[in-house]
Structure 1
C-alpha cells in the first residue's frame, strides 16, 4: 500500500478507534464496579459462605464478566489499529498482529466460558448438594480448564506490551503512553491493583490522543508515514535549551538594531543642530 493510501485510511479510522478506546475504558471500569456493588463491601470469612454469596449474585458476576470481555474486545481492536499503523512504518514484526488477534480471541472466549461453567457448578452445588466444606472445595477447583486461559492471558500481556512499545518507538504514541501501555498490559493479566484504574486511564488518554490527532500537537509520525521516534527527556531538554538560546539570540539582534538606530538618530540630530548653529552665525 502506498504511503498516501494508508495515511488516508488511518485518518478515516482514527475517530472510530478513539471511540472504541473510550468505550473500552468505561467497560473495564463497569466490569469491576457491578460485581462490587452486588457483593457489597464485606465478605464472609469462610469459603462455604463465599460460594453461597457468589451463587446469590451470580447474575451480577456474569454481567461484570461480559462487560469486561466486551471491553477487552474493544482493547484488541485498538491494539490492532496501533499494530497496523506501526507495521506501515516498519516498526513491528508482521507476526505480532495475527498473534494479537488469536490470543485476544482465546482470552475472551475461554474466560467467558470458564465463568459460565464455574457459575453453573456453584449454582448446582447450592441447590442440589448437602452444602459441606468438602463439596465447596471440590466446586471451587477449576481443574485443567484454567491453564489455557492463563497461557492465553500471558501471551496477550506480552503482545499488548510489545504493540504499545512499538507504537511509541514509531512515534505514534508519546513515551508516557507507550510505557503506561506496557504497565497496563501487565495489569490486565495480573491485577496487582484491586481497581483497574491504570488500564482505564491509559485507554482514556489513548482515546484523547487519537481524537486530537490532526491538531497542533499531532505526532509527526502520523503525517509522515515514517517512524519518527518520540524524543527522550534529555532530547526534549536539549530542544528547549536550544530554542531558548535562539530566542535570546534573536532578542540580542533586535536590541543591537534598536541601539544602532538610536545612535544614528542621535548622530542625525547632532548634525542638524550643528547646521542650525552655523546658519545662525552667518
Structure 2
C-alpha cells in the first residue's frame, strides 16, 4: 500500500492518532500528551506559531493516518519542539520523507528539539539519523491531589509587580535560554497561570510559576528558582508547595507535573521531598541547522 504524504485534513483525526501512538511507551514523546481531547485543544488553541495544518505532515493509507511528525515552532527563538516521529509500523524511510517535507522551507527554524521516552528506541535512532546530538536525560515527575504535600508555604505570596525587576533578574539568571522569558511570563498571568514569590529582607528570594489546565485535569510547575544568596534555607520547598497548592485549588485539577534534568540531584531531591514521583524518563536530542 502506497502512503500519501500531505498536510493533515482534520485536527480531531490527528489528535486521535497522536494520543493512540503516545500511549505506547515505545512510541512515546515527552510533552505531546496522551488524551485526545487535550491534544485537540492544544493543536487548535495554543500549539505553534504556525497553523496546526502546516505544523504537521502526515502519511495516509486508505484515508487513515498511519504516520505523523509535528513541530511546535517558536519563530522568535528559531526553535521547534518535535512531536514524533509517530508511525504504526516504525517505518524509518517513511518517517524521513515526512521530516524532509515538514522541515523544507523553514528557514527561520535553526534548532529542533526531541524529548523521547527512554523506551522509544525508534525515535532515538531517528533523531540521531537526522543529525540530532544527544543532550542528556530528563525526568517528568507527578504529584496527585490526593498525595500529601510534605511542606508548608507560609512565607509565599502572590506576585507583586514592585518586584518585577528582581523577578526578571532571578529568572534570566536561572533560565538564560528558555521558552518563556520573564516578560512572557508576566504577560501570561491570569486566573490559571499564576506567579508566586517569597520575599526576605525586602528582596526577592525566589519564585514559582505554574499553569493550570482545569479542563483537562492537570497543571504544570513551569519554573521555580531561588536567588543564589537565598539557597539552602528551605525556600525552594515552600515555593514548590505553594505552586502545587495553587494548582490544586482549581476545580478539576487532579495532578501536577514538573520536568528536571536527571543530573540535577538537588532539584530532584527537593521535588521528591515534597511528594513528586518519577513518571517518565526522557532522552533529549538537538538538531542544529
Please give the TM-score of this superposition, normalised by the length of structure 2: 0.19
Larger radius of gyration: 1
**Higher fraction of strand:** 2
TM-score, normalised by the number of residues in structure 1: 0.19
Larger relative helix fraction: 1
